[in-house]
Amino acid sequence: MRFQAILLACATLAFVAGPFLVPQFGGFDPALYPYPQIDPPVQPAGYAFALWGVIYLWLLVHAGMSLFKRHDAQDWAPMRMPLFWSLLVGAGWLSVAEVSPVWAQLMIFIMLGFALIAMKRAPVLDPWLARAPVALYAGWLTAASFAGLGLLGAGYGMVLGELGWAYLCLIAAFALALWGRKLRPDAPFYTLGVAWALIAIAAKNWDHHWGLVGLASLGAFALVIMSLRAFKLEADLERPI
C-alpha cells in the first residue's frame, strides 16, 4: 500500500505543477475552433477558476496524509489508484488544451470518470482529509467537463449554437451531479463544487441570457440544499492525526 501512496503523491505533485509548467494558459484559444468561441455563455465567470487553488492545496494535503499517516490504512487503499490515474491524465491536460480542445475534452472526461470512482471508494473515516478534497475535485470536473463539451459543440458548429449548447450542457452537468450525489450522499463538497460553477455561469450571463441565469441559479440552489443535507449525514468519525 505504501507503493500506491508514493505513486499517488508523485501524480499529485505532477498535477499541481501543471500551471507552473504552462503558465501562459488562460483558457482555450478561440482560434482553435472552426467557429471561434469568444466569451461563450457556457463558460463560468473568471473568478470561479480560483477554486483550483483550493483544490490543488487540498489534494496536496490529501497526498501527504496518504503517504505519511495513512499509508497502511486499509480503507484508504481503494481510492488511491483511481485518483492516481485521474491526476496523471490531468498532469498533461494544460499542455494538450493549448493545442487541441478535442483531445483535451476526451482527457477531462477520463479525469472525471476516475475521480468519481475515487470519490465512491473514499473512506468514511477522515472525511476532511480523504473524501472532501476528492469530492471537490470531482465536483468541479463535473461542471468543467460539460462546459468544455459546450465549447466543443458550439465551436464546431454542431446544430444548437452557443446558447443551445449552454442549456444542454448545464442540464447534463446537473443530471450527472444528481447521480454523483447518489454515489456518495455523504460527500457535500461534490455538490458544492458543481454549485460553485453553476453560480459562476449565472454571474457570467447576468443581463444577457436570463433563461440561462434562472436555470443555473435553480440548479445551484438545489445542489447547495443537497450539500447541507450531506453535511448532516456526515458522521463525526475523524481519526486523530
The pLDDT of residue 239 is 55
The pLDDT of residue 62 is 97
Mean pLDDT (whole number) for 3-8: 95
Write the burial class of residue 140 (CB in 10 Å: 0-12 exposed, 13-18 middle, 19+ buried): buried
The residue with cell 487503499 is: 77
Share of the chain above pLDDT 90, in %: 73
The pLDDT of residue 115 is 98
Mean pLDDT (whole number) for 101-117: 97
Q: In which band, very low, low, confident or very high, does the pLDDT at 138 lie, cut at 50, 70 and 90?
A: very high
The pLDDT of residue 198 is 96
The pLDDT of residue 149 is 95
The pLDDT of residue 103 is 96
pLDDT tens figures, 8-48: 999 999 999 999 888 777 778 888 888 888 888 988 988 99
Average pLDDT value over all residues in the chain: 91
Q: Quick check: 194 pLDDT over 70?
A: yes
Look up residue 193 and give its amino acid.
G
Please compute Rg for the chain using Cα positions. Answer: 18
Write the burial class of residue 226 (CB in 10 Å: 0-12 exposed, 13-18 middle, 19+ buried): buried
The pLDDT of residue 36 is 82
The pLDDT of residue 38 is 82
| Spans of all domains in the chain | 2-19+36-233
Mean pLDDT (whole number) for 113-135: 95
The pLDDT of residue 66 is 95
The pLDDT of residue 238 is 53
pLDDT tens figures, 67-96: 999 988 999 999 999 999 999 999 999 999
Answer whether 237's CB lies under 8 Å from 124's CB: yes
d(CA 241, CA 239): 6
The pLDDT of residue 231 is 85
3-state DSSP percent of the chain in helix, strand and coil, to 5? 75, 0, 25
The pLDDT of residue 125 is 87
Q: In which band, very low, low, confident or very high, does the pLDDT at 144 lie, cut at 50, 70 and 90?
A: very high
pLDDT tens figures, 211-234: 999 999 999 999 999 999 888 776
User: b/e for 22-53, b at 16 or more Cβ within 10 A?
Assistant: eeeeeebeeebbeeebeebbbbbeeebbebee
